[in-house]
Structure 1
Amino acid sequence: MWSTYSDNLRGALFMVFAMAAFALEDMALKAAARDIPIGQAVAMFGVAGWVVFAAMARAQGERIFHPSLTSPVLVWRSLSEIAGRLFYALAIALTPLSSASAILQATPLVVALGAVVVFGERVGWRRWMAIFTGFIGVLMILRPGLDSFDPLSIFAVLGMLGFAGRDLATRASPVSMSSAQLGVAGFAVLTVAGLVLVGFGGVVIPTPASLGYVAMATVIGVLAYGALTRAMRTGEVSVVTPFRYSRLLFALILGVVVFGERPDGMTLLGSAVIVASGVFLLQKKRHAIRG
């Protein structure tokens, strides 16, 4: 039982690190999109990340493309990844970083439900209540039906559903498939998503600043991707995934400091509720094991 708690703790730490890195990646891509079309930025980012993960796979003596890539699970993962990246890229380009990240925090709800349906994980009522409380915190930030709700946020909702599907498929992916090979697959479909957006936004000559932001996103994104893969493969999905909520805190800070966003009191209160629910989940698991 202690081993289970230890796995959950390590998975949670990997998830928090991944979320901090993803928030920085979002910031860099949003900054790059000020000078070049978002599709071009995503495509450049995808190609660069693919090259890095392909080199990592070769350095480890692995095949760049794992034979299981054509399996139903990984085809579903690729389609989910394309949807998640495509729509979330539009969200961070067209809406405030803080609000797009807030909508993304509904991902654990979908993943937790999927873990019960697909993997047969057992989730006690206290953990369900904590997850539900986190969802209430998200609603406090979004305020659907009110004037403050942005219709463009539908892009973030669609992106969230795509990422949830990706995470569940990652959990079910073959154990023999390394993080580098998963990264190759992920950044390959990211490139596809960028090229789809390029068809609508076109291509321009990148500025030195935009190239720098894309390079920054690549380095950080590679680290984030590896940490997320480790997180989803360590511990219980229903315990680890709520720590995605930490991404909201990082996004709020970056939104304020870098883009001059000013979240109101309800947004900050909702953020506190979300983070508290995630921490509560791990605490309940620890007390249950010790008891």
Structure 2
Amino acid sequence: MKDDNTRAAVFMLVGSSAFAVNDTFLKLLGTDLSAFQILAMRGAIVTCLFGLLVWHSRITFAQLNGRDRRLLLIRSASEALAAYFFFNALFNMPLANVTAIIQVVPLAVALAAWLFLREPLGWRRLSAILVGFCGVLLIVRPGGADFGAPSVFALLTVAMVTFRDLSTRVMAKNVPSSLVAFTTALGVTLFGLAGAVTETWVVPSPVAWVWLSGTVIFSFIGYYLIVLAMRTGELTFVAPFRYGALLSALVLGWFVLGEWPDTLTFVGGAIIVVTGVYTLYRERRYKLRMAAATSTNDA
């Protein structure tokens, strides 16, 4: 398990950073194309790439049991909505701000797992989660001059990603990561195509094709590594490494986009990271105690 956790941590760190690079390309691409067109074009290419992996694994959607098929559909729908909300937030907010808000996902997943999966949640972790959500409020600042639709889209993204991660969490271990990624990418593509038919299709410029290629490459890497990380190691050990995306977003936002967050955003982001790591640390301690108690009882 130790080796699995180490590999999973590397997968999560690299995958999260890949998404930060992908988000940078998306923000650049958003000046030329709509969210639906980007979802459709990028999704079609990524779906084909994952389709090759699924073909290699020789496992199809029809071979899964009914429960796992439903979970894959839920995951795909959640990812499609998350992508749409995220694009609309990203195109209208600084990259680091959006990324910092997304970092509350581990806290939201822990809270949702307590509410819907009946997983235990002590008062320390619950307090940390509430403090973490206060960090989000420092970034979005409801009622302030900067609060608007983009902030709402960012919060909706968190909700959809939480549903996505919960569905992955309860999925059977024998479902190949390539199939999970393929069905998710396909769902996003179909959603993008459905929305794109209501808009005027724009022929991408040569520069836009470069940005689009970047999103394809790095979203492919991010998709696969994140799924692989969550299915290789313990979630409580692996999840904190997703915060590498925030550091990557800060650097890329500064050097590529000329953005730098204000003080409150830094404070809010720091609160989210600290409470997120603490929450996962407490969850890991609880599981170790439970494992030790089970071992003692068996003896």
Q: 2:108 aligns with which of 93, 107, 110?
A: 110
Q: Any residues of structure 2 matched to 1:179-190 within 5 Å, and which? A: 179-190=177-188
Quote the offset at 1:251 in angstroms.
2.1
Aligned-partner SS, 2:91:
helix
Quote the offset at 1:27 in angstroms.
1.1
Work out the number of aligned pairs and report it. Answer: 287
Amino acid at match of 2:41: M
Quote the offset at 1:45 in angstroms.
0.8
Q: 2:36 aligns with which of 25, 39, 44?
A: 39
Q: Deviations over 1:97-151 (max 9, x none)?
A: 2222233233223211222244443333333333333322222222222223233
What is aligned with 1:276?
274
Tell whether the 8 Å contact from 2:104 to 2:272 is kept in structure 1 after alignment. Answer: no
Aligned-partner SS, 2:33:
coil
Matched, 1:15 2:12: yes
Q: 2:59 aligns with which of 59, 63, 75?
A: 63
Amino acid at match of 1:68: L
- Output the TM-score relative to the length of structure 2: 0.83
CA distance in 2, matches of 1:111, 1:172: 12
Gap regions ≥5 residues in structure 1: none
Tell whether the 8 Å contact from 1:49 to 1:222 is kept in structure 2 after alignment. Answer: yes
Quote the offset at 1:223 in angstroms.
1.4
Aligned-partner SS, 2:143:
coil
Q: 1:89 aligns with which of 87, 90, 109?
A: 87
Tell whether the 8 Å contact from 2:101 to 2:155 is kept in structure 1 after alignment. Answer: yes
Quote the offset at 1:200 in angstroms.
4.3
Judging changes above 3 Å, is the alpha-carbon distance between structure 1 residues 246 and 201 closer, same or farther for their aligned structure 2 residues?
farther
Tell whether the 8 Å contact from 2:178 to 2:224 is kept in structure 1 after alignment. Answer: yes
Quote the offset at 1:9 in angstroms.
5.7
Amino acid at match of 2:30: A
What is aligned with 1:49?
46
Tell whether the 8 Å contact from 2:101 to 2:269 is kept in structure 1 after alignment. Answer: no
Tell whether the 8 Å contact from 1:8 to 1:239 is kept in structure 2 after alignment. Answer: yes
Tell whether the 8 Å contact from 1:15 to 1:240 is kept in structure 2 after alignment. Answer: yes
Judging changes above 3 Å, is the alpha-carbon distance between structure 1 residues 105 and 27 closer, same or farther for their aligned structure 2 residues?
same
CA distance in 1, matches of 2:221, 2:84: 20
Matched, 1:134 2:143: no
Tell whether the 8 Å contact from 2:32 to 2:208 is kept in structure 1 after alignment. Answer: yes
Judging changes above 3 Å, is the alpha-carbon distance between structure 1 residues 197 and 254 closer, same or farther for their aligned structure 2 residues?
farther
CA distance in 1, matches of 2:171, 2:270: 33
Q: Deviations over 1:210-247 (max 9, x none)?
A: 11211111121111111211232245545544544443
Q: Deviations over 1:76-104 (max 9, x none)?
A: 22221221112112221233322222332
Tell whether the 8 Å contact from 1:22 to 1:220 is kept in structure 2 after alignment. Answer: yes
Tell whether the 8 Å contact from 2:89 to 2:153 is kept in structure 1 after alignment. Answer: yes
CA distance in 2, matches of 1:192, 1:199: 11
Tell whether the 8 Å contact from 1:77 to 1:169 is kept in structure 2 after alignment. Answer: yes
Judging changes above 3 Å, is the alpha-carbon distance between structure 1 residues 112 and 238 closer, same or farther for their aligned structure 2 residues?
farther
Work out the percentage of aligned pairs sharing the same amino acid.
36
Tell whether the 8 Å contact from 1:46 to 1:191 is kept in structure 2 after alignment. Answer: yes
Amino acid at match of 2:59: R
Aligned-partner SS, 2:256:
helix
Aligned-partner SS, 1:175:
coil
CA distance in 2, matches of 1:77, 1:104: 17
What is aligned with 2:297?
none
CA distance in 2, matches of 1:287, 1:79: 33
Q: Any residues of structure 2 matched to 1:246-257 within 5 Å, and which? A: 246-257=244-255
What is aligned with 2:175?
177
Aligned-partner SS, 1:94:
coil
Gap regions ≥5 residues in structure 2: 293-299
What is aligned with 2:295?
none
Tell whether the 8 Å contact from 1:35 to 1:206 is kept in structure 2 after alignment. Answer: yes
Tell whether the 8 Å contact from 1:103 to 1:138 is kept in structure 2 after alignment. Answer: yes
